[in-house]
Structure 1
Amino acid sequence: MSGLDARILAILHASQVHLFATDLAGQLGAPLANIEARLTELRNAGFEIEERPGLGFRLLRSPDRLIADDLHARLGPCALAREIVVFAETASTNDSATQRGRQGSAGGLVIFAERQTAGRGRFGRAWASAPYRGLWFSLLLRPEFPTNAWPRLTTWAAVSLAATIESSLGLAVSIKWPNDIFLSGKKIAGILAESGTDVNGQPFAVVGIGVNVNHAPGDFPAELAGKAASLNMVTGRTIDRPTLAANLLRDLDARLPQIASAFPDMIAEAARRSLLLGRWVQVQSGHTIMEGRAEELDADGHLVLRGSNGSLNRLSAGEVTVIAN
């Protein structure tokens, strides 16, 4: 597909009426023959574009596939997604984004994959990436705020994920600190934030996001049965993945400046959605295991744990198990 395709699709997505090819050519400043050729190619790619004599063209339905030009068309201006790459298959979108980061690629790159053969979550765990069922993507970022604040990126992504899914479905969405998203008691999304240095010694961050969208129960491995679910399984309806992807990128883009300018507000939203605060939990961090009541999230998004002796510990990461309310 071409950049012209994204511009055509943007107009068709926004239009509620049929448009003549000559109208499209005029709006885009492109030759009519090029517009007609691209409309044919878009149809061949699976876009259901109706043509009515005397009325023109109208987009009825997009394919259930992630297509870079279609995502650009839905997004509009979005600094976070300066470039979108979609792989039919890759080992890991985080690994692909990290490779581009090490080579010196600018921030604002989003890498999607319809299938991951080695998707991973925190602590090196495998992430089940059923093909054409979910959203598996990674953001390459070069944040302008100090690197000691980069751990805030996980809170940013978690709040944005929860808010976007909630607004799309109308169902309450929760965050299990630090990086899991829950709906109706089941995990439906996760986040993996990493960082590195490029060939010029400049730092970059990669934020990977996985969302279980249209999985059926049989799409999950046996060890996840009863623990994980998809948006489809919870709602009973098929979710439009490209629309959800565009909505999520748009929300992430809008919230990114708030990491530096309004992070307390983001912490407040994360706390409001928390599955842990006020509960007695066990946290494993490396080889250390501790128990206590999840008291609050501090100004940097760390979990504050109050032990049975009243001591306070501030945790930046860890594997959390809820023991009691």
Structure 2
Amino acid sequence: MEDAKGVDTPTRKPLDRHLLWSLLSEKSDFWTEVDVVGVTGSTNADLAESARHGAEEGRVLLAEKQLSGRGRLDRRWESPERASLMMSFLLRPTAPRERWGTLGFATAVALEEALLAVCGVRAKLKWPNDVLIAGKKVCGILAQAEGSAVVVGVGLNVSLTEEELPVPEATSLLLAGATTLDREEIAAAFLGHFAAVYRTWEDQGPASAIERWERNSDTLGRQVAVSFPNGRNLTGRAVGIDADGRLRVDPGDGPVEAVAAGDVVHLRPRA
């Protein structure tokens, strides 16, 4: 099928849970359960409920469509059915709780590496939780604590056409010219990469994940504008990430600030 702009739209097959589990089992022994549902409110909310009832680490939930998907700052996130990878997974870190905030970096690093290995596309990482291709958002990540667990949600645009994109600043693997749009293959590769990154994160701390994130960052070196939840604004140059995952911003007329939470806009290309 071809859309109005001449981009071929692939047949959107339903996810095959058995195939995904088979592919994933070849790559990692970390994962304990994979479920696929047709429609749900939110995979993050579903796994958070499972966590409250004692579900073990390594559980993965994917949905063909979400009705109440949310990103950072409670932003709504939607996608046509079967056009994206909408998944969440459950972790029970043994690392100190103050380190949990860096799990988003581990997730982004794993996805960036998987997209290059499997899809042949080079992605860049935007603080704190976005994955970009050619400056446009292809994936958002949301990690939330639930008691002694962390639920990590990933929303990756796979086969969306230009007309289906939620905002002009978004893109998809289809539009980026990915060599494959096979969702089982992409999901298995990503989860396999994440398991390896997570084990290093648990055993050695977040330094490796942060260093790999910095190496592929689209934020560092740029002039950025930060909008804080309390309404305050900060403009300056993004100069680094500290050990807790905070973005270090140099305003040029004062001390460097470490930003823990805020909405970041890239103002101009990296220096």
Normalising by structure 2, report the TM-score.
Answer: 0.89
Say whether the 8 Å CA contact 1:281–1:320 is kept in structure 2.
yes
Cα distance, 1:257–1:236 mapped onto 2, change above 3 Å: closer
Which residue in the other structure is 2:256 paired with?
312
Aligned to 1:75, the other structure's residue is in SS state helix
Which residue in the other structure is 2:188 paired with?
246
The offset of 1:220, in angstroms, is 2.3
Which residue in the other structure is 1:273 paired with?
216
The offset of 1:254, in angstroms, is 1.1
Runs of 4+ aligned residues of structure 1 deviating over 6 Å after TM superposition are none
Alignment partner of 1:82 is 2:32: yes
Alignment partner of 1:215 is 2:148: no
Aligned to 1:76, the other structure's residue is in SS state helix
Identity of aligned residues (%): 33
Say whether the 8 Å CA contact 1:93–1:116 is kept in structure 2.
yes
The AA in structure 2 aligned to 1:305 is V
Counterpart-to-counterpart distance in 1, 2:116 and 2:61: 24
Which residue in the other structure is 2:5 paired with?
none
Aligned to 1:123, the other structure's residue is in SS state helix
Alignment partner of 1:140 is 2:90: yes
The AA in structure 1 aligned to 2:152 is V
Alignment partner of 1:73 is 2:17: no
The offset of 1:314, in angstroms, is 0.9
Which residue in the other structure is 1:126 paired with?
76
Say whether the 8 Å CA contact 1:217–1:233 is kept in structure 2.
yes
Structure 1 or 2: larger helix share? Answer: 1
- Count of matched residue pairs: 255
Counterpart-to-counterpart distance in 1, 2:233 and 2:254: 17
Which residue in the other structure is 1:41 paired with?
none
Cα distance, 1:124–1:196 mapped onto 2, change above 3 Å: same
Residue segments in structure 1 that go unaligned for 5+ positions in a row: 1-62, 198-202
> 1:231 is matched with which residue: 173, 183, 206?
173
1:15-73 deviation digits (Å, cap 9, x = unpaired): xxxxxxxxxxxxxxxxxxxxxxxxxxxxxxxxxxxxxxxxxxxxxxxx93222222111
Larger Rg: 1
The residue correspondences of 1:1-325 to structure 2 (distance < 5 A) are 64-76=13-25, 78-197=28-147, 203-221=148-166, 224=167, 226-235=168-177, 239-260=181-202, 261=204, 263-287=206-230, 288-325=232-269
Counterpart-to-counterpart distance in 2, 1:293 and 1:117: 37
Counterpart-to-counterpart distance in 2, 1:112 and 1:278: 35
Q: CA RMSD in A?
A: 1.6
Residue segments in structure 2 that go unaligned for 5+ positions in a row: 1-11
Say whether the 8 Å CA contact 1:79–1:108 is kept in structure 2.
no
The AA in structure 2 aligned to 1:196 is E
Say whether the 8 Å CA contact 1:152–1:259 is kept in structure 2.
no
Normalising by structure 1, report the TM-score.
Answer: 0.75
